[in-house]
């Protein structure tokens, strides 16, 4: 569901003719110039736009380029991208990382050999394409060891923590923290996190946690790399770089039999913890199985030790579990590959794990794509509005051309989109891909596609309703506000148009409580008329302190989209003369038909409240008497009233004859 913004539309119309996301899977060419473009990364901006970065050898050797896309997919910079770095690279590339920070800047970290050894460098690029940490970025380490696979997160205190492999003997993990100006905070050289034994620590992944800290997850192995049996560990580092979970951290998988080449998947749990996905052969049966684990911010496992097995399907290999969490329910949705024991055929499965670590969709999960002779790749999982989306590559019979497919489920495990699967991409030989999700539930992906003799970078969006390109079903929110209604938060909002709108869900969160559902207000379904809504949180009390309220729009298919949010301050009492919006609005005749009218007067006055029709004809005087200064609330049961639009007018006359008047509108529906 897309919420329109007038200033974005005007800005897009002034762009220089670059393409936008197409509505069919022909896909957007982000960069299709000469040479090879590969290893794309994508990060999402708060406005629903994105950054896409990649390695590019159009000049004969690999350089790093970046493009910024508007929410509709228009290119905001030069057609073939902005050159970030053309410093010397090895002929073979290693993985890299990119995020968007809270100010809308792109933070990139990659490696090159500009100083003779492979080292990590960090760049901060503004939305206007400015190099905020200098033209050559920030060198994170001057160690002479081979250093690879860098990662980055932004911490809750607005700084940035970077982690990477230091390929010494034994291997270690390098960590450094930069402030917003790019100044190192953990010493002139990185923190080296190591086993203290011959055990190699590698493939670090990170998520931000509380108070400026980070949680890392990494693998640990001994012996030859490709035949090694590894374990998985986790550690929490404070804002100052101190280890918080003891020497060596905690064992996520302490049984061994994790492949040494495995890179664990780690995502935030939305509550300062982490969720980890991996596969292992812990039973030594030459059969891999897929697992997930949830770690809270205190270092305690929320699931059984060594993880929850996602499927017990016999004599099958289960690989590459990719999790996504529903932040409201705490349930985790995971997509993974299921192969025959001899790896001659392959399927795609999904599973949901409850908060106590139980398999919600049967012991085997749900098979979403039947056995084929080729293996699948690039699994992605997303959660939004209580629904879950899985993306994966589907190879053609020859195995040289891939199509990206997507499928969406509700919490019960039933498919949401009418036709089941959505085809997201053209068939092509895809090399790498990356997908991320906006706060409105739009998924945007980028990948390298080899249509000709070299790779190019393509991108596509996928809307929550299963369409591509511009979402044809807009609900336009025009206003949202929170006011004090006799000590209770009163949420008021308006829409200009609605389509497929079941209603609005209200949630709240505070310093002391997680996000919880507070109420639901039915929508108008489909309408081009302006509509007004309101909601009072009767459960609020001043002890909750400052509360953040979020407004989610819900489609009839269950799609849930965050549309607005704001804070309510208990000290922000209304002063002066005020007439608050009528609550509830609209009034549903099948309910009690009772409305509440709140008003504030700053001194003792005679107050007259009158109902009017839209024609201006007076219907009824609700009250006409003296009130003391302060906030007041009048309850009125509506009788002998039909569908329509009405007004409440207040006239206040103080003891010296000063007169003040205000009017608000409300609607009555069946």
DSSP 474: B
What are φ and ψ of residue 362, in 5° steps? 85, 165
Sequence-ordered strand ranges (E) for 86-199:
97-100, 106-112, 119-125, 138-139, 147-154, 160-166, 172-178, 191-193
**Unique residue bearing structure tokens 């006055």:** 605
Alpha-carbon distance values, 103 to 65, 124, 126, 573, 589 (Å): 21, 11, 9, 31, 46
> Mean pLDDT of residues grouped by 10 in the chain (670 residues)?
30 45 94 94 92 95 96 92 96 94 96 97 97 98 97 97 96 98 96 95 97 97 82 98 96 94 94 97 94 98 98 95 95 95 89 97 94 71 93 67 91 91 89 90 92 82 91 69 81 82 88 81 82 89 73 82 76 61 77 79 89 77 90 82 81 84 78
For domain 574-670, is the CATH number 2.60.40.2550? yes
Give CB contacts under 8 A, 24+ apart, made by 409-417.
409/333, 409/350, 409/366, 410/386, 410/558, 411/326, 411/329, 411/331, 411/352, 411/386, 411/387, 413/352, 413/360, 413/361, 413/366, 416/387, 416/466, 416/557, 416/558, 416/559, 417/465, 417/466
Decide: 121 and 109 in contact? Cβ < 8 Å.
yes
Structure-token pair, residue 27: 């896909």
Cα-based torsion angle of the residue sequence 219, 220, 223, 225 in order, rounded to the nearest 10 degrees: 20
- CA–CA dist 133, 362 (Å, integer): 51
Residue keyed to tokens 């299709």: 32
| CATH 2.60.40.10 domain range(s) in the chain | 473-573
Burial of 363 (0-12, 13-18, 19+ CB in 10 A): exposed
Instruction: State how far the Cα of 46 lies from the Cα of 31, in Å rounded to an integer.
Output: 23
**Which residue, 248, 243, 253, is CA-closest to 301?**
253
Strand 346-353 to strand 387-395: parallel, antiparallel, or no bridges (unpaired)?
unpaired
pLDDT of residue 375: 60
Largest CA distance in the chain: 93
Burial of 625 (0-12, 13-18, 19+ CB in 10 A): exposed
Number of CB atoms found within 10 A of residue 420's CB: 12
Phi, psi of 26 (to 5 degrees): -85, -20
Q: Enter the DSSP assignment of 2.
A: B
How far apart CA 408 and CA 649 sit, in angstroms, is 49
**Nearest to 442, CA basis, from 26, 42, 97:** 42
Q: CA 541 → CA 495, 566, 572, 582, 640, distances in Å?
A: 29, 17, 14, 21, 35
Rounded CA separation 269/330 (Å)? 8
Give me the pLDDT at residue 569, please: 66
Q: CATH 2.60.40.2550 occupies which residues in the chain?
A: 574-670
The strand pairing partners of 643, in sequence order, are none
Count of residues in the chain: 670
Q: What is the pLDDT of residue 452?
A: 58
CA–CA dist 246, 214 (Å, integer): 15
Per-residue model confidence (pLDDT) at position 615: 66
Report d(CA 432, CA 445) in Å as an integer. Answer: 11
Q: State which H helix or E strand residue 12 sits in.
A: helix 6-13
pTM of the model: 0.72
Q: Are 422 and 466 in contact (CB under 8 A)?
A: yes
Classified by CATH at the fold level, domain 473-573 comes out as Immunoglobulin-like (2.60.40)
Please answer whether residues 57 and 83 qualify as being in contact, where contact means their C-beta atoms are separated by less than 8 angstroms: no
């Amino acid at each position: 569901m897309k919420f329109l913004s007038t200033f974005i539309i005007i800005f897009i119309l002034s762009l220089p003719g670059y393409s936008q996301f197409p509505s069919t899977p022909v896909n957007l060419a982000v960069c299709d110039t000469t040479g090879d473009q590969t290893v794309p990364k994508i990060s999402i901006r708060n406005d629903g736009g994105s950054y896409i970065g990649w390695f590019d050898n159009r000049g004969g050797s690999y350089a790093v380029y970046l493009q910024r896309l508007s929410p509709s997919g228009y290119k905001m910079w030069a057609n073939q991208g902005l050159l970030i770095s053309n410093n010397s690279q090895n002929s073979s590339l290693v993985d890299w990382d990119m995020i968007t920070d809270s100010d809308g800047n792109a933070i990139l970290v990659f490696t090159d050999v500009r100083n003779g050894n492979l080292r990590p460098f960090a760049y901060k690029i503004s939305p206007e394409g400015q190099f905020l940490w200098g033209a050559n970025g920030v060198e994170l380490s001057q160690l002479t060891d081979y250093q690879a696979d860098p990662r980055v997160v932004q911490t809750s205190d607005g700084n940035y923590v970077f982690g990477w492999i230091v390929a010494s003997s034994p291997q270690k993990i390098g960590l450094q923290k930069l402030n917003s100006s790019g100044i190192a905070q953990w010493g002139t050289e990185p923190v080296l996190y190591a086993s203290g034994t011959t055990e190699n620590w590698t493939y670090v992944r990170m998520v931000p946690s509380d108070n400026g800290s980070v949680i890392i997850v990494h693998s640990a192995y001994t012996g030859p790399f490709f035949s090694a049996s590894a374990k998985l560990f986790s550690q929490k580092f404070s804002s100052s770089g101190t280890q918080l979970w003891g020497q060596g951290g905690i064992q996520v998988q302490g049984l061994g039999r994790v492949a040494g080449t495995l890179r664990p998947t780690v995502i935030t749990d939305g509550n300062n913890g982490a969720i980890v996905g991996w596969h292992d052969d812990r039973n030594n049966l030459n059969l891999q199985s897929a697992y997930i684990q949830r770690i809270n911010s205190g270092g305690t496992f929320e699931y059984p030790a060594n993880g929850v097995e996602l499927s017990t399907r016999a004599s099958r290999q289960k690989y590459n579990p990719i999790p996504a969490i529903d932040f409201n329910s705490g349930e985790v949705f995971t997509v993974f590959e299921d192969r025959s024991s001899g790896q001659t055929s392959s399927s795609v499965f999904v599973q949901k794990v409850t908060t106590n670590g139980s398999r919600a969709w049967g012991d085997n999960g749900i098979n979403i794509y039947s056995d084929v002779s080729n293996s699948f790749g690039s699994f992605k999982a997303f959660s939004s509005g209580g629904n879950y989306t899985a993306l994966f590559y589907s190879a053609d019979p020859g195995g040289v051309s891939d199509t990206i497919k997507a499928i969406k489920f509700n919490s019960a495990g039933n498919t949401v989109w009418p036709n089941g699967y959505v085809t997201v991409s053209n068939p092509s030989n895809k090399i790498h891909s990356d997908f991320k999700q906006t706060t409105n539930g739009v998924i945007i992906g980028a990948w390298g596609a080899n249509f000709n003799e070299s790779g190019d970078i393509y991108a596509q969006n996928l809307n929550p309703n299963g369409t591509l390109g511009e979402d044809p079903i807009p609900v336009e929110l025009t206003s949202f506000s929170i006011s004090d209604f006799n000590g209770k938060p009163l949420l008021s909002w308006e829409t200009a148009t609605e389509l497929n709108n079941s209603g609005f869900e209200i949630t709240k969160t505070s310093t002391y409580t997680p996000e919880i559902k507070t109420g639901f207000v039915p929508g108008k379904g489909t309408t081009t008329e302006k509509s007004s809504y309101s909601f009072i949180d009767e459960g609020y009390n001043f002890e909750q302190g400052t509360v953040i309220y979020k407004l989610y729009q819900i489609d009839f298919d269950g799609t849930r989209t965050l549309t607005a949010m704001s804070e309510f301050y208990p000290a922000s009492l209304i002063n002066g003369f005020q007439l608050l919006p009528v609550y509830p609005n609209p009034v549903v005749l099948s309910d009690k038909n009772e409305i509440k009218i709140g008003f504030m007067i700053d001194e003792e006055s005679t107050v007259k409240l009158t109902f009017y029709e839209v024609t201006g004809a007076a219907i009824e005087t609700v009250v006409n008497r003296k009130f003391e200064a302060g906030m007041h609330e009048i309850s009125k049961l509506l009788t002998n009233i039909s569908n329509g639009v009405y007004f409440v007018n207040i006239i206040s006359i103080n003891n010296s004859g000063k007169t003040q008047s205000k009017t608000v509108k409300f609607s009555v529906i069946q």
